[in-house]
Amino acid sequence: MSAAFPTVALIGKYKSPEIAEPVLKLARFLEGRGVKVLIDRLTAAHIDNCPYAVRVLEELGREADLAIVLGGDGTMLNIARTFAPYDVALVGVNQGRLGFLTDISVDTIFESITAILDGKFVAEERMLLESEVWSGGNGDQERVFEVLAFNDVVVSKGFKGGLVEIEVRIDGDFIYNQRSDGLIVATPTGSTAYALSSGGPIVHPALSVMSLVPVSPHTLSNRPIVIGGDSTVEIIVRSADDPRVHCDSHSHFDLREGDRIVVRRSAHTIKLLHPVGHSYYAMLREKLHWNRD
């Protein structure tokens, strides 16, 4: 039995029946190590007569010491947000495309998991954002939406086109009014996602910062800025036809003129475990195809 992780949860890529075989192989391997195995309910739906205990995500968060996610970055983002209140360590096995968060390859899965169960790993804590939407006029606003984000919080123009006009404040200080397709507030983890494709900087995940990245700003002097991780960002919708806010390209909420979006660091963090020898810079070099002729 693994003294550090006596109970391990397995979560597979959603809507992917082919995930059943690798999940079962890993479950049998863990069982052979004396580990109690729990399977996510949606993952178990792809396994005929699943022989392992099946739980919904919240139950896995309460019961598991370690969660192994077999999927892509999208799956890992969803699991990280759900497990954040439970302080469960996460390991990612890449079954997707890029795999910035799922850094164990299928070819080395048993070797890597063995080392982690034996206590040989690199632990990393990453920040989360919490986002709130406050709505209502005459100074009497109420909170109408609240969500966690691992990558980013994005205020965008929505589906109708045109520009969204917003006012941005940091810790109460007025920064600027901006007309653009949107504004991204990204964590260091999210700096290699939507923010990167919009011209934002790559930020090392050990840093406690947020990046504010405009999306196609009408004024070209509106450039990305990096602010302290303990800052509070306020985004006020001044004019737009169909504005909305979305978090990690997952949770979204339709906005109205005058709505105020508040973004700050969450009290929760995400604990990722990597194989010994993991290098953030080597990962960037591989995923972004640096130094290739």
Which residues carry out catalysis? 73
Residue spans of beta strands (DSSP E) within 107-208: 122-135, 142-149, 152-156, 164-170, 173-180, 182-186
As to burial, measured by CB atoms within 10 angstroms (0-12 exposed, 13-18 middle, 19+ buried), residue 50 is middle
Partnered with residue 69 across adjacent β-strands are 11, 92
Backbone dihedral angles phi then psi of residue 44, each to the nearest 5 degrees: -65, -25
Phi-psi region at 253: left, alpha or beta (left = phi > 0; alpha = psi -120 to 50): beta
Scanning the structure block, which residue is given the tokens 């192989």?
Answer: 25
Amino acid present at 252: H
Residue from 104, 140, 147 nearest 275 by CA: 104
Separation of alpha carbons 180 and 54, rounded Å: 46
